[in-house]
């Protein structure tokens, strides 16, 4: 039973905020449920913490869980939790004003009382509209709440316009119950199926049981919040399969946390394979963004550079306010910071792998090398670091043995004038027997061999590496010392030959005498490759 109600005004900022929320802040109305469920989860966490501090739970304490019940008849949705609950003052403070966040206060208290913060990490709330999101779908919201251990409960009621009502209420269970009278056009949220898919999408990692119309929803442990050494290989495999909806095991797992400059907990998986090699459509990003276990954005495009789309995983940052809509997050400098930090971490992981497990790395490269090459020509910020990861066949190494640009630089000889030479050819055999190679072979200069338009494009795009410039072996100006007995034409004859050549072969711009050839009479140099021109055109039009 509810006692006599007092009408109270929302704080001015709250009114303003409610206006904004109702109109535009969230693009997806459905996130209101994720906000309420995350509040319920926070409240349960706080109750657990309170019980820890006071020594033991009160006897007959109700199960720690969250119940969501939709009723199509009355077009209502009810969310109940057995969490810490709110006193009258807390209802006023937490639901009537926005200048402070309950979770933030709680955290401050916690910090003052004890140093241990593993429990506290779970309840860091962000100043935000969280609860108010409910007014996107509600005509009226009634909150029944009673703090654990308190005698009297309270009832808070509002239609989200300028004011709310507050009254004492008896018979209220410890915890919080939120009854939402849905807007007629939002009646979907009263159906079990709709609620279920919403919960699975946004709240599948909540750490407490969730029951929809009495039925338990399967939730999955948020293993990324655990310490790196607390998660077994099997748990990773299971989790990987869950988030990537696949059946294989991850090839590599990168599980890490950092506190500065931003708090991040993340797991990235490199799968065994990818589908793009079969010529199938471009893969979507496989990494989801969370804030304290609650989904902010699935398959986020802004978390990592696009070429890292072969990764699967999760990123959780409590520094991300839940209340930011996708639009406003777009240009947030926070997102850029996160992205840059993450991408560096992934590249570092691959570099370490290449160093410590060459065999494993080469297998990875064989499958995913195309993404790294894409990284070199699309990701300006990381280009130099990604280039360290490239591997090529070389004229001086064994067939199929790949070398890095650093290997190559380590073997450079003075005659090559600090240039990294590469040659495009259809096959290794044709490269090695081509006239372009003659001078290099004679001078024992190593040449990297590339066999595809993409590789050629990477080479021309990279331009320099480690302070050395990359140069096509075709255009090299290398002179080879001729054996003493070699004959040459006199000046008149050679002029005549040059003139004849220009006449006889269409499209020749210039004919030069050169001493770079050993066995072949002539080669064409300085021609622009049609494949590079094609790639340039594609990149410029945005479809490499």
Q: Which residues bind ligand ADP (CB under 6 A)?
A: 35, 39-40, 42-43, 81, 83-86, 94-95, 101-103, 125-126, 128, 130-131, 176
Q: Which does 176 bind (CB under 5 to 8 A by kind): ligand ADP, Mg ion, none?
A: ligand ADP
Confirm whether residue 153 is marked as ligand binding.
no
The reply to whether 469 sits in an annotated binding site is no
55 sits in the region (left: phi over 0; alpha: psi -120 to 50; else beta) called left
- Minimum Å gap between C-beta 309 and ligand ADP is 32
CB of 45 to ligand ADP, least distance (A): 10
- The reply to whether 467 sits in an annotated binding site is no
Task: Choose among ligand ADP, Mg ion, none what residue 101 binds, the Cβ cut-off being 5 to 8 Å by kind.
Answer: ligand ADP
Three-class DSSP category at 213: coil
Q: Which does 84 bind (CB under 5 to 8 A by kind): ligand ADP, Mg ion, none?
A: ligand ADP
Nearer to ligand ADP, 180 or 437 (CB): 180
Are the C-beta atoms of 325 and 299 separated by less than 8 Å? Answer: no
C-alpha to C-alpha distance for 483 and 393, rounded to whole angstroms = 31
Only one residue has tokens 């995350």, namely 38
Find out whether 136 and 130 touch, Cβ atoms under 8 Å: no
**How many CB atoms lie under 10 A from the CB of residue 492?**
8
- Residue 35 labeled ligand binder: yes
Residue number of the CB closest to Mg ion reads 130
**Shortest Cβ 226–ligand ADP spacing (Å):** 23
Residue 533 neighbours by CB under 8 Å, 6+ apart: none
Task: Tell me how far, at minimum, the Cβ of 191 lies from ligand ADP, in Å.
Answer: 23
Please state, in angstroms and as integers, the Cα–Cα distance from residue 32 to each residue in 84, 104, 129, 189, 198, following that order: 21, 20, 10, 11, 10
The dihedrals phi and psi of 350, each to the nearest 5 degrees, come to -70, -40
Query: Which partner in ligand ADP, Mg ion, none is near 386 (CB below 5 to 8 A by kind)?
Result: none
Contacts of 429 (CB under 8 A, 6+ apart): none
Rounded Cα distance, 286 and 300, in Å: 8
**Which CB sits closer to ligand ADP, 177 or 255?**
177
> 339 is in the binding site of which of ligand ADP, Mg ion, none (Cβ under 5 to 8 A by kind)?
none
In angstroms, what is the minimal distance from the CB of 202 to ligand ADP? 14
Q: Which is nearer to ligand ADP, 38 or 394 (CB)?
A: 38
Residue 101 annotated as lining a ligand binding site = yes
235 annotated ligand binder: no
Least distance (Å) from Mg ion to the CB of residue 322? Answer: 6
Annotated ligand binding at 127? The verdict is yes
Q: Binding site annotation covers 130?
A: yes
Beta pairing partners, 470: 420
Residues that bind Mg ion (CB under 5 A): 39, 130
- The single residue listed with the structure tokens 């190559």 is 408
Phi and psi (nearest 5°) for 212? -105, 120
Q: What's the angle, vertex CA 138, arms to CA 137 and CA 140, rounded to 5?
A: 175
Sequence ranges of the binding site? 35, 39, 81, 86, 94, 101-102, 126-131, 176, 326
Sequence ranges of the binding site for ATP? 35, 39, 81, 86, 94, 101-102, 126-131, 176, 326
């Amino acid at each position: 039973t509810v006692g006599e109600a007092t009408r109270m005004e929302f704080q001015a900022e709250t009114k303003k905020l409610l206006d904004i929320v109702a109109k535009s802040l969230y693009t997806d109305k459905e996130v209101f449920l994720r906000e309420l469920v995350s509040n319920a989860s926070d409240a349960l966490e706080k109750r657990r913490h309170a019980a820890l501090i006071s020594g033991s739970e009160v006897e007959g304490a109700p199960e720690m869980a969250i119940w969501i019940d939709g009723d199509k008849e009355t077009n209502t949705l009810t969310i109940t939790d057995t969490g810490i609950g709110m006193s009258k003052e807390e209802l006023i403070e937490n639901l009537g004003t926005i200048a402070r966040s309950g979770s933030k206060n709680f955290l401050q208290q916690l910090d003052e009382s004890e140093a241990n913060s593993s429990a506290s990490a779970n309840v860091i709330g962000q100043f935000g509209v969280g609860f108010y999101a409910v007014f996107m779908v509600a005509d009226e919201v009634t909150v029944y709440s009673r703090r654990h251990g308190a005698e009297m409960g309270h009832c808070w009621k509002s239609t989200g316009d300028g004011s709310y009502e507050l009254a004492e209420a008896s018979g209220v269970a410890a915890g919080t119950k939120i009854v939402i009278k849905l807007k007629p056009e939002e009646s979907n949220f009263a159906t079990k199926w709709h609620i279920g898919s919403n919960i699975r999408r946004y709240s599948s990692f909540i750490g407490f049981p969730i029951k929809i119309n009495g039925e338990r929803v399967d939730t999955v442990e948020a293993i990324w919040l655990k310490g790196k050494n607390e998660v077994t290989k099997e748990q990773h495999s299971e989790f990987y399969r869950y988030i990537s909806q696949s059946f294989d095991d991850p090839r590599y797992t990168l599980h890490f946390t950092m506190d500065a400059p931003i708090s991040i907990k993340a797991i990235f998986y490199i799968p065994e394979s990818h589908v793009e090699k079969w010529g199938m459509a471009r893969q979507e990003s496989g990494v989801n963004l969370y804030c304290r276990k609650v989904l902010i954005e699935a398959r986020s495009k802004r978390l990592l550079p696009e070429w890292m789309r072969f990764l699967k995983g999760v990123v959780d940052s409590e520094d991300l306010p839940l209340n930011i809509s996708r639009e406003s997050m777009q240009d947030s400098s926070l997102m850029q910071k996160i992205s840059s930090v993450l991408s560096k971490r992934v590249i570092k992981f691959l570099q370490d792998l290449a160093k410590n497990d060459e065999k494993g790395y080469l297998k990875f490269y064989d499958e995913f090398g195309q993404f790294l090459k894409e990284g070199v020509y699309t990701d300006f910020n990381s280009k130099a670091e990604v280039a360290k990861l490239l591997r090529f066949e070389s004229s001086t190494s064994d067939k199929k043995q790949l070398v890095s640009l650093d290997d190559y630089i380590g073997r450079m000889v003075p005659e090559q004038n600090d240039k990294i030479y590469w040659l495009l050819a259809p096959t290794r055999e044709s490269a090695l027997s081509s006239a372009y190679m003659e001078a290099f072979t004679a001078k024992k200069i190593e040449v990297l061999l590339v066999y595809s338009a993409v590789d050629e494009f990477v080479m021309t795009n990279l331009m320099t590496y480690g302070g050395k410039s990359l140069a096509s072996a075709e255009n090299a100006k290398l002179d080879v010392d001729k054996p003493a007995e070699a004959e040459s034409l006199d000046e008149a004859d050679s002029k005549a030959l040059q003139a004849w050549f220009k006449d006889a072969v269409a499209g020749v711009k210039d004919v030069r005498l050169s001493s770079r050839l050993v066995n072949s009479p002539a080669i064409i140099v300085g021609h622009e490759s049609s494949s590079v021109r094609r790639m340039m055109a594609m990149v410029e039009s945005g479809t490499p």
